[in-house]
Structures are given as structure tokens and as C-alpha cells.
Amino acid sequence: MTVKSLAPSQEVISNSPPRFPKGFIWGTATSSFQIEGAAHEDGRSPSIWDTFCATEGKILDRTNGDIACDHYHLWEQDLDLIKSLGVQAYRFSIAWPRVIPTGKGAVNSKGLDFYERIVDGLIARGLEPHVTLYHWDLPQCLQDIGGWENRDVAYYFADYAAVVADRLGSRVKSYATFNEPWCVSILSNELGHHAPGKFDRKAALQVAHHLHLAHGLAMSRLRGMNLTSDLGIVLNLTPAYAASDSEADQHEATMNDGRTNRWFLDPILRGEYPQDVWEAYEEEGVLPTVLPGDLAVASQPIDFMGINYYTRSFVSVDDKKLPEGTEFTDMGWEVFPQGLSDLLIRLHNEYKLPDIYITENGAAYPDQMAEDGHVHDTGRINYLNSHFKAAHASLEAGVPLKGYFVWSLMDNFEWAFGYSKRFGVVYVDYETQKRTLKDSALWYRDFLKEQ
Ligand code: FCB
């Protein structure tokens, strides 16, 4: 795969994306720990992210989620804000430690009350609620018994999922079991970047397997509840491009794709782990314990798959570099919209896909409030514009893409980077909690008016 150079974009790209089909769903997304705050209120117990934040050296700006965007208190105005964008849908996550503070067992009604207010508040505003059941804030008490390495936790998750669905029911348009199993397993347990911060590949692969199992167990439970909601899962997929045609680079890209993407796609969509990566892990002695029947549980039919796309991997065995002029976001992630259409089309060709949603796409830029009171985030407008176009191209190729959620509604706690990275289309002043629509939010609103 050759790499074309991309000039940094200063100007707003003038030609906007073409019209999307009628019924295509547009939204914005957030997650509980990143926006809620109210860490000690209404019976919430600590999550692994509270512990991680309290651990020296883990969060770049030494912050935590105690207050975040104070969404727990400001939710009404935040829902109004979502409505004002002209989107049809909002994706958010439920904090397990609010709902079942002890991880398993007793339900904390106040926790469910909060999410019920959100769901009803969205519906009252004509917005579709899309719920993620797990966006990384595992109750710390469950980590204390081994976290996702402990197979029992998969069963506790299914119980928790059923508790949530029992209260919120079919008012919720879609339930996703997990957000980004790769991050929950590999990034958090092999690479140590995220809570619980382990550096153990074998443990990470066991975690990944238990997530697949937990997904399937929760799917069975929710299916049994006769909801009209769609049920599925959200994966982060990062297509791998070999830096050259050399056999070594090509092989490395294939394995990178296998470890990052196929290891998570195949158990869910095919009921198996990819053979090539399985053999490599076997040789290394890091294979997870997989019990008979687990993969059948993991691969039961889903109504939708959410895909979070931000960038690609540029893979070489000898550190080849991207060409001069390549554009990067504030995360240091390459801006590569073509990766989104390539990815979607490839999935469409290689798998039998359910409905697909882009459940996250967006970019961090070092936004500042200008003297005129606006935030001129041209880079983000260009980023979104080019990715919307890529999504549209995939539709034309027949990909069953049904909707698109911009990450994120507002600036928030960006995990190990704390508040130092701004992903929102809405600017948050963390001192005053004032929200201001950035230029990208206005651009998005105008774009939606044309749809
Ligand atoms: C994704 C996460 C989301 C946010 C974006 C930037 O991996 O799901 O919470 O942090 O990255």
C-alpha cells in the first residue's frame, strides 16, 4: 500500500460531504467516567479509573474524574446542548459502580435513577438514547478479585447488563455491551497505559477472552428480555498499512492487523480466533484459557457493530517514517480518512456484517477560546469533513453503514492525558463549567441542516 502525502489543512475544506441516505442517524458520543464527575455521590463506589488516577505518574496532568464536566449535575443543559446541534442520537455509557457499587449483588436505585433521567430526557427532546454498558469504569472491588482476568466477572457483567436493561428497557435504542475490547485488554493490561495498568501479555489475552465471553453472556440475557432495542458491541479498529512492499513489512502489517483487529472481530463475527495470531501466541506461551463453548456464546448474532475509527497504523520492521507533510492531530495520530473507507469496505468484503455504526470518530486539537469568544477549530472541521466523505464512499460501495457519532460532544477527561486533550465539538471551561459551541459544532449543525 503506498502512502500519499497530505498537506496540513489551514483552510476549511469548501466542498462538503454529499447527502447521506434518508434515515441515516447522526449523533455525538461521550462516556460516563469522562464527563460525569460526582465521583462520591449517590452511592457510587470507586472504579479502577479512580484508583489509576490516584496512582502517581499515570495521568499526564495529575487530574482525575472527581468533577470532570460535572455532567451528573449539569445533564439537563447538556441534553439541551445536544439537541441544539440538530443530531438525532446520543451515545453515552452507564457506570457500573453507580448501578451495582459492590460489583455484584445489591442494586443502587439512585444510580439507575440518574440514567433513567438521561434516557427520558433524551426521548423528551426527540433524541435516541444509545447506551454502552461498559466504557472502562470497572468497580474497583471487582479488580480486587482479579478484574477481567477472573472468569466470574464475565457472569457478573451479564447480571449487571440485565439490571440496567430491566430498568431502562426498550426506551434505549441500542445497547452495546463493550466499548473497545482492545483497549480494555491490550492497552490496559499488556501496554499498561490504562487502568489497571498491567504489563502482562498473557493476562491481557485472558482479559480479551473474558470480554468476548461476557459480551456473549450479556447478549443472551438481553435477548431473553424481549427488548426492541438493538444489541451489539463497539470495537476500535485500526487498519494496518505496510510501509513498503517488502515481505517483512507486509507480514508485520498482517500480524498487526491480526493482533489489533481480527483478534476482536473474529470471535464475535466468526466464533473463532484468527489462526495466524493464535499460532504466534501459542509459540510465545501466552494463549488464554478458552473453555469449550465459549466462542459459540461470544459469536451469537448481533444487531449492530459499532466501529470507532481515529487513524491507521503505519507498519514497518525498520522504522520507516511517514512522508513529510503528513498531518497529525494533537494526539499525534495521523489524519487518514481513506483508512475509514478502506476499513469499512474490507470488512464488508471479508465478513458477514450486521448493521454498522461509526460509534466514534473525531480529533483532538489544542483549542483555545479566541478573543471574539469563539473557538476556531478549523482542523477539526476538516477532519470531520474528510471522514464524513470517506464514510459516504463506503456507503456507495455497499457497506451497511447506518449512523455516525462524533467523538465527542464536549471536551472531557481524556484518560491518561487528563484534561490536556480536547476532543469536543463543544468547548468546556473547566473552571466555570461553561460550555461554548466550537466552530466545528456550528459546522456540524449546518451540515445536518442540509441532510
Ligand atoms: C477512544 C475512547 C474514547 C475516547 C477516544 C478519544 O478510544 O473510546 O473514550 O477517549 O478514544
Mean pLDDT per 10-residue section of the chain, whose length is 451 residues: 38 73 98 99 99 98 98 99 98 99 98 99 99 99 99 99 99 99 99 98 99 99 98 98 98 98 99 98 98 98 99 97 97 98 98 99 98 98 97 97 98 98 98 98 97 93
Predicted local confidence at residue 293, as pLDDT: 98
Tell me which residue range forms the domain holding 429.
25-449
> ω before 420 within 30° of 0 (cis)?
no
> Would residue 309 count as lying in a domain?
yes
Asked whether 308 lines ligand 1 (CB < 6 A), one says yes
**Residue of 35, 91, 415 to mutate, ligand 1, most atoms within 8 A of C-beta:** 415
3-state class of 429 per DSSP? strand
| CATH number of domain containing 136 | 3.20.20.80
**207 belongs to a structural domain:** yes
186 inside domain: yes
User: Strands, E, within 349-422: which ranges?
Assistant: 355-361, 401-407
Residue 15 pLDDT:
75
407 within ligand 1 shell (Cβ under 6 A): yes
- What per-residue confidence (pLDDT) applies to 5? 35
183 lines ligand 1 (CB under 6 A): yes
pLDDT for 11: 59
Ligand 1 contact, 415 CB (< 6 A): yes
Q: Are 274 and 280 in contact (CB under 8 A)?
A: no
Atom of ligand 1 nearest to the CA of 423: 6
Q: Report whether 13 contacts 382 (CB < 8 A).
A: yes
Choosing from 30, 187, 414 the residue with most ligand 1 atoms within 8 A of its CB, the one to mutate for a pocket test is 414
Contact 422, 364 (CB under 8 A): yes
In a 10 Å sphere around its CB, with 0-12 CB exposed, 13-18 middle and 19+ buried, how is residue 316 labelled? middle
Does residue 1 lie within any of the structural domains? no
Q: What is the dihedral of CA 444, 342, 181, 53, to 10 degrees?
A: -50
Please, which residues have CB within 8 angstroms of residue 250's CB and are 6 or more apart in sequence? 242
Q: Is 360 in the pocket of ligand 1 (CB under 6 A)?
A: yes
Q: Would you call 327 a catalytic residue per the annotation?
A: no
Domain-located, residue 426:
yes
The answer to whether residue 20 sits within a structural domain is no
- Within 15-137, where are the H helices? 32-35, 48-53, 71-85, 96-99, 109-124
**Confidence (pTM):** 0.97
Note whether residue 2 is domain-resident.
Answer: no
| Number of domains the chain is built from | 1
CB of 134 within 6 A of ligand 1: the answer is no
Q: Is residue 195 part of a domain?
A: yes
Task: Number of helices (H) and strands (E) in the chain: give both, helices first.
Answer: 16, 12
Question: What is the H or E stretch that residue 210 is in?
Answer: helix 201-223
Catalytic-labelled residue, pool 180, 190, 334, 414: 180
356 C-beta neighbours (distance < 10 Å), count: 21
pLDDT at 355: 99
pLDDT of residue 2: 34
**How far from 296 is each of 82, 291, 387, CA to CA, in Å?**
39, 10, 35
Q: Is 334 one of the catalytic residues?
A: no
Q: Are 130 and 173 in contact (CB under 8 A)?
A: yes
